[in-house]
Structure 1
Amino acid sequence: MVSAAAQLGVFAACVVLFVPMGLAGWHLSRNKVLFFSGALFLSLAVGVHLSPYLPSLPHLLLLSSSSSRLLPLPSSFSSSCVPLLHRVSWSDSSAGIIGGGGRSWSWPPSIASTCGLARVSKDDASVLLNGSWVMVAGDSQARLLVLALLRLLLDPAAAAAVEPELFRRHSDYRAAVPARGISVDFVWAPFESNLTRLLREDLRLAPRAPDVLVVGSGLWHMLHVGDARSYGDGLGSIADAARSLRSPLPVPPPHMFWLGLPRLVNHMLNTDAKRARMNDTMVRDYDLEVEQRGLLQRDGGPFLLLDVGKLSRGCGQQCTADGMHYDGDVYDAVLHIMLNALVIESQQRI
């Protein structure tokens, strides 16, 4: 965020630059060499005038960028740390206040110190996402990730107030953090065809692409279709549509994430149909399709995996009440992995 002193400096610089240039242009219109020489002198003077207020030109360009509004935080992040993002450790919370299951997570000290991985505070998250449009599309898993994000960005009372609207059945939801210009959209898109249409049609009509795009599917397909190959075909369409998602402006594509399937605890599922169709074998088959369809960055695809399956297995059976949806601990871990990944990607794009 640009300080008040910097804003005053910019205003003063504009006065110094444009008022004399306007007068010079009026009086020296017949002597273009003299006019442009004067303009060059004034421009240099403005640069000197602004230099005490603005730390560096790349930082100024990043702040004013209309493509990726993500502001990197000082750290030792590098692409070699991406594979380590999901290596979190779980432990019982002695206070029993972190999530419903009384479980907490952390990165091992060696990984945290080597890569600079850390929980992102509310203030740092607001700076990181300053001016960004975040879109999360999918099923109930995606809703829970949105809730984790809003709990981080908003004060507790405001975050609690959004839950009834956010969890309105089969509906979209939009929230905003006006002080930071952050927009958060949840799009109800439980099937792969919904996501493909969102990427291929709906977002093409939007004024610009989201800065951060998180999508995921599979649970509804597993329950209502139950064919892994058909699911894989849908993933291929999503990958193709995501690759072609470009803004009409010459800007980078969104930061894209794939929300993986959670661990399913079969005997805890709440209907006979779910217990019959949603088992470990089906989850393995569906996960294999994600691996093989060119969806993920590690395979040349557009999406970085948010491995909910690994995180939910780490948290354990005590972190779910229905065998499918997990306590806030898991989605808090997903969120912070995503935010740390955004810092890495933002550093790489500078």
Structure 2
Amino acid sequence: MLGTVQLGMVAALVVVLVPMGMAGWHLSRNKMLFFSGALFISLAVGVHLSTPFFPSSLSSFFVSSLSSAVVVFDSRRHSCLSLLHDVVWNLTLSDSNSSSLHYHKSWSWPNSSSSCNFQTLSRSDASDLLNGSWIVVAGDSQARFVALSLLRLLLADSNSFDSAKVDLFKRHSDYQTLIPEIGARLDFVWAPYADNLTDLVAAFRRRSPPDVLVINSGLWHMLRVTNESDYALSLKKLRDSVVSLVPYSPELAGDGTRSQAPALQPHLFWIGMPTLINSMLNTEEKREKMTDERRGSYDRQLWKSKLLRQSGGPLLMLDIESLSWNCGVRCTEDGMHYDLPVYEAAVQIMLNALLIDSHQKL
């Protein structure tokens, strides 16, 4: 093996140094390039003809080295994806009066995540990442808050954001907007049930899908249908529809098991249900039906459906439950919808996941 490596080094030196020496003899540039090219081709042919006689250990050495590098890269990438939700909240009392307390809410990734180089993307960075993209956010009010948080990050002035907020929060309606500065389009689709999402994905199969698809379902089904088995069936149909939307390739899941993950766009995300604080829910029907026990049962059906990438499916979870739980009761007024920083954290997690998946940083 050493002899072969030494032979390669000698060949490289010949290709580089001989033309340089000839240049020192003041040969014309054309002649020097002609000689260099001829010399390179001759050596390449010689190496090609002698390749079958190289020790097999040489090729196996390079193959094993490359395989090891890929495994390390994949392992680190999945490790970083699994750490994305490990955020630390800081709630600081900012104002008080006789009737209420007001807290400034901020969050950050802990120092233990520093090796992954997570970053809170600025408007400029997020605009560069999503430049020219078509983004679709579909689902219930939780998805609407995610769409609002993304618009707050991307829109250049407060007047544009205030106008978008009014239009976006028209009850049970769809919303579309263009962000001409970056040539991006954002659609919000009101689709509170998994069957609505299945129909939406089926429509995408008949045309080009969006670059980023962010969806959710569960709260309305829990309140209006209240049937875990029916929810499980609708999630299975949704998974089958999503899987048929884009090609998939085998990839290691976050827990080290073999799974299926998206190889090409669109980038797919699932917005998890928030922490439900039963005593704060604003109607008797919600307090009766949206219990911790039922919420746990719905979550189990979601994981069993293999819709999430973390359980072998196509969509990466944006874990609103953990984000809202860690922010706590001071971040919600109705026990279901949380203050905007919770959803802004989810958006930053999504953007960092996009960077990791596209190998733009680790």
Report the TM-score range of the alignment, normalised by the length of the smaller protein.
0.7 to 0.9
Could you tell me the TM-score, scaled by structure 2's length? 0.70
Could you tell me the TM-score, scaled by structure 1's length? 0.73
User: Which amino acid is the alignment partner of residue 215 of structure 1?
Assistant: I
Report SS of the residue matched to 2:358: helix
Report SS of the residue matched to 2:326: helix
Residue in structure 2 matching 1:198, options 197, 200, 205: 200
Alignment of 1:142-181 (within 5 A): 142-154=143-155, 155-181=157-183
Corresponding residue of 1:91: 90
Report SS of the residue matched to 1:347: coil
Q: Does 1:264 align with 2:276?
A: yes
Q: CA deviation at 1:95?
A: 4.6
CA contact (8 A) 1:243 1:302 kept: yes
Change (3 A) 1:172 1:313: same
Q: CA deviation at 1:346?
A: 1.0
Corresponding residue of 2:232: 232
Q: CA deviation at 1:348?
A: 8.0
Q: CA deviation at 1:242?
A: 0.4
User: Which amino acid is the alignment partner of residue 285 of structure 2?
Assistant: A
Alignment of 1:85-124 (within 5 A): 85-93=84-92, 95=94, 101-111=103-113, 113-124=114-125
| 1:135-188 deviation line (CA, Å, top 9, x unaligned) | 000000000000000000012221111111100111100111112111000000
Q: CA deviation at 1:205?
A: 3.2
User: Which amino acid is the alignment partner of residue 213 of structure 2?
Assistant: L
Structure 2: how far apart are the matches of 1:235 and 1:315? 28
CA contact (8 A) 2:93 2:103 kept: no
Corresponding residue of 2:326: 314
Q: CA deviation at 1:318?
A: 1.1
Report SS of the residue matched to 1:78: helix
Structure 2: how far apart are the matches of 1:142 and 1:214? 8
Report SS of the residue matched to 1:114: helix
Change (3 A) 1:89 1:253: same
CA contact (8 A) 2:134 2:184 kept: yes
Q: Does 1:334 align with 2:335?
A: no
Change (3 A) 1:276 1:159: same
How many residues are treated as equivalent by the alignment? Answer: 264
Give the RMSD, CA atoms, in angstroms.
1.8
Change (3 A) 1:265 1:101: farther
Structure 1: how far apart are the matches of 2:126 and 2:339? 21
CA contact (8 A) 2:94 2:103 kept: no
Structure 1: how far apart are the matches of 2:241 and 2:347? 24
Change (3 A) 1:275 1:94: closer
Q: CA deviation at 1:257?
A: 0.4
The answer for unaligned runs of 5 or more in structure 1 is 1-76
Structure 2: how far apart are the matches of 1:348 and 1:298? 21
Alignment of 1:283-294 (within 5 A): 283-294=295-306
| 1:269-323 deviation line (CA, Å, top 9, x unaligned) | 1111111100111111111111111111122200000000111000001111111
Structure 2: how far apart are the matches of 1:242 and 1:120? 28
Corresponding residue of 2:216: 216
Report SS of the residue matched to 2:188: strand
| 1:203-227 deviation line (CA, Å, top 9, x unaligned) | 1233x11000000000000000111
Q: CA deviation at 1:78?
A: 2.6
Report SS of the residue matched to 1:179: coil
Structure whose alpha-carbon radius of gyration is higher = 2
Structure 1: how far apart are the matches of 2:94 and 2:121? 21
CA contact (8 A) 2:215 2:271 kept: yes
Structure 1: how far apart are the matches of 2:94 and 2:82? 31
Structure 1: how far apart are the matches of 2:93 and 2:122? 22
The answer for unaligned runs of 5 or more in structure 2 is 1-75, 96-101, 248-262
CA contact (8 A) 1:139 1:189 kept: yes
Structure 2: how far apart are the matches of 1:253 and 1:108? 30
CA contact (8 A) 1:91 1:104 kept: yes
Corresponding residue of 1:304: 316
Q: CA deviation at 1:79?
A: 2.9
Structure 2: how far apart are the matches of 1:191 and 1:101? 34
User: Which amino acid is the alignment partner of residue 299 of structure 1?
Assistant: S
Structure 2: how far apart are the matches of 1:291 and 1:348? 29
